[in-house]
Structure 1
Amino acid sequence: MSDEQPRTQPRTTLSARAVVFDMDGTLVDSTALVERIWTEWCGPLGLHPGEVLSFAHGRQTADTVRRFLPELDEEAVLRHVDALLSVEGEAPDGVVEIPGAADFVAALPASLVALVTSAPGGIARTRTAVAGVGLPAVVLASEDVPVGKPAPDGYLRAAELLGVEPSDVVVFEDAEAGLQAARASGAQVVVVGDHDGPAAAGLPRIRDYVGATVEVGDDGVLTLVL
């Protein structure tokens, strides 16, 4: 028998002055719900659910509708968006916490945390409540960010509201569009989950927040050990 002990993956240590989270796939797992809603939407329209879901993840609902129904005028786009969001808001079952997310968010100083999500604010409040994850005081939802991910606008605005430079922010993201947005903002970026698209290349990665810790220095600098 070998005397060697199983190797564990090296931990990542990051320093920052603020932390910003995406929501779906990053703090809460709503995959089953989102896949069902988009699949049901695709059926009558003759669209391929896999293609729609691949594009939709991390993006605002209106951007996905415009992408796959380019012939629609804006009024018709908004009717589709309202119908999709109505279903999402009425069906929170199946939304669960990413393991360790609630404790990790609670360990961070409340004044140094923000959420940037492509979901509307009402859905963000519902999903985080169902999953038992505390909602930060600073929340930028789809209605607060006219140009959504992959544009960096939401993350740049979050840094501004938190009173820090983007380079002093650590962003936790899980999807290609969100990772592109976070990287373009100049923030430090951590991939949550198993996404391996181009925007994830070279970034630190965590499966979940179990075992993650945070220390607050006397100078206000956060040391995150992931």
Structure 2
Amino acid sequence: MDGTLVDSTGVVEQVWGEFAARYGVDVEQLFAFSHGRQAIDTVRRFLPDLDDSAHWGISDGLQADELLRLDGIVEIGGAEVFFRGIPASRVALVTSAPRELASRRMAAAGMEFPRVTITSEDVALGKPHPEGYLSAASRLGVDPSDVVVFEDAPAGIAAARASGATVVVVGPGTGGDFRVDDYRALTVTADDSGLTISGLTPA
């Protein structure tokens, strides 16, 4: 979601920048690790000396803060039109965010919340583990090898690849089968045999 469907960079960097300043964490290392991962995994990584109850308390506080910061969140260019062109029964959202935060950010960007949505509450193992994408494929009733995943973060790209999906990297990242700057140059058609996506650039 973040960086793939919605641009929440300003909010994310503000919240996590405050975390880095509070706990004396190198902010560049923090951003390099955290993007695409669950908050709890980032807190554990950078505050290893705390016990897990403290990790969860800090993580919950960060996410409660993010719920209140929605100004400036917009869709990635062309995302709403592109995904509106795909039947709802063929779309899933897999995000490391909790459900309420995901719902609010999608709404702030003017995007519909998909019927099949896998959030942090729905998995035991977050990205880069493929559990989220495998679960989404199962709920859609398709083989993971028939799935196309749009991702931007290294952890998400790794998770998608491990699931067996075809990976489209959104933005400047690497490691996918295809890449796009955003969705404005893409077109999609759907029929009984599947989807046809035009405008993708091979990675």
Instruction: Give the TM interval when normalised to the shorter protein.
Output: over 0.9
Report the Cα offset of residue 211 of structure 1: 2.8
1:160 alignment partner, SS class: helix
Q: Give the counterpart letter for 1:136 in structure 2.
A: P
Report the Cα offset of residue 216 of structure 1: 1.4
Report the Cα offset of residue 145 of structure 1: 1.1
Report the Cα offset of residue 35 of structure 1: 0.5
Contact 1:118 1:141 in 2 (8 A): yes
* Matches for 1:44-55 after TM superposition, within 5 Å: 44-55=22-33
Query: Which ranges of structure 2 fall in alignment gaps of 5 or more residues?
Result: none
Higher relative contact order (CA 8 A, sep 6+): 1
Report the Cα offset of residue 217 of structure 1: 2.3
2:160 alignment partner, SS class: helix
Q: Give the counterpart letter for 1:81 in structure 2.
A: S
Q: Distance in 2 between matches of 1:102 and 1:181?
A: 24
Q: Give the counterpart letter for 1:222 in structure 2.
A: L
Cα deviation, 1:134-191, whole Å, max 9, x if unaligned, reads 1110000011111000000000000000000000000000010000000000000000
Report the Cα offset of residue 133 of structure 1: 1.3
Q: Distance in 2 between matches of 1:93 and 1:170?
A: 30
Query: Which residue of 2 is the match for residue 15 of structure 1?
Result: none
Q: Give the counterpart letter for 2:51 in structure 1.
A: D
Q: Distance in 2 between matches of 1:44 and 1:108?
A: 43
Question: Is 1:185 the equivalent of 2:167?
Answer: no
2:168 alignment partner, SS class: strand
Contact 1:105 1:133 in 2 (8 A): no
Count of aligned positions = 199
Q: Distance in 2 between matches of 1:50 and 1:82?
A: 22
Which residue among 69, 84, 88 is the counterpart of 2:47? 69
Question: Is 1:115 the equivalent of 2:89?
Answer: no
Question: Is 1:33 the equivalent of 2:2?
Answer: no
Cα deviation, 1:195-226, whole Å, max 9, x if unaligned, reads 23xx34xx21000110311111233x111113
Q: Which structure's CA Rg is the greater one? A: 1
Range with greater deviation from structure 2 (41-50 or 117-126): 41-50
Taking only aligned residues, the RMSD between alpha carbons, in angstroms, comes to 0.9
1:215 alignment partner, SS class: strand
Question: Is 1:163 the equivalent of 2:141?
Answer: yes
Query: Which ranges of structure 1 fall in alignment gaps of 5 or more residues?
Result: 1-22
Q: Distance in 2 between matches of 1:213 and 1:135?
A: 21
Normalised TM-score (structure 1) = 0.86
Question: Is 1:204 the equivalent of 2:182?
Answer: no
Question: Is 1:224 the equivalent of 2:197?
Answer: yes
Contact 1:105 1:134 in 2 (8 A): no
Runs ≥4 residues deviating over 6 A? none
Question: Is 1:149 the equivalent of 2:127?
Answer: yes
Q: Give the counterpart letter for 1:216 in structure 2.
A: A
Query: Which residue of 2 is the match for residue 194 of structure 1?
Result: 172
Q: Distance in 2 between matches of 1:63 and 1:97?
A: 26
